């Protein structure tokens, strides 16, 4: 489960950002996770308490926002949902595409006091 190491890195980065901005309390960390990312949101949420335990951020909440996947067909340029259409363009039936969104793992927001 690589989610624990990812969550620990998020906590380290938020800690560094907060300290460099003289922030004494973080209320919420907002992550964006793409629906086709190699990260399982449930595991991220489950690992979070262990990552903040014993730190000054022990009362910080974690919010996860999912990012829908979208791809662009290499043949006709139609943008579509690869999950809904099983990776096959609904316009031309081509199965070659470029991923536009859905692979994100981003610290979107740090809510501070």
Q: How far apart are CA 1 and CA 19, in angstroms?
A: 29
pTM of the model: 0.88
Tell which wins on pLDDT, 113 or 44: 44
Query: Is 24 domain-assigned?
Result: yes
In-domain check, residue 55: yes
pLDDT, tens digit, 9 for 90 and up, residues 25-80: 999 999 999 999 999 999 999 999 999 999 999 999 999 999 999 999 999 999 99
Asked if residue 81 is part of any domain, the answer here is: no
Helical segments of 21-106, H only: 41-52
User: According to the annotation, is 94 in a ligand binding site?
Assistant: no
Q: Is 73 contained in some domain?
A: no
Query: 């800690």: which residue's tokens?
Result: 15
23 inside domain? yes
Within a domain: 78: no
pLDDT at 1 over 90: no
**Is 47 marked as a binding-site residue?**
no
Give the CATH number, domain containing residue 54: 3.30.2320.50
The pLDDT, as a whole number, for residue 16 is 97
Q: What domain range includes position 38?
A: 1-67+101-110
**Which residues, including other chains, have CB under 8 Å from residue 6's CB and lie 6 or more apart?**
39, 44, 105
Residues 2-31: tens digit of each pLDDT: 899 999 999 999 999 999 999 999 999 999
Flag whether 2 is in a domain: yes
Split into its structural domains, the chain has a count of: 1
């Amino acid at each position: 489960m690589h989610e624990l190491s990812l969550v620990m890195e998020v906590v380290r980065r938020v800690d560094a950002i907060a300290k460099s901005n003289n922030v004494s309390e973080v209320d919420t960390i907002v992550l964006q996770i793409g629906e086709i990312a190699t990260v399982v949101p449930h595991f991220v949420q489950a690992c979070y308490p262990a990552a903040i335990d014993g730190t000054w951020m022990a009362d910080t909440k974690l919010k996860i926002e999912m990012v829908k996947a979208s791809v662009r067909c290499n043949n006709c340029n139609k943008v579509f949902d690869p999950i809904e259409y099983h990776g096959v363009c609904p316009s031309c039936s081509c199965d070659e595409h470029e991923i536009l969104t859905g692979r994100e793992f981003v610290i979107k927001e740090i809510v501070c006091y």
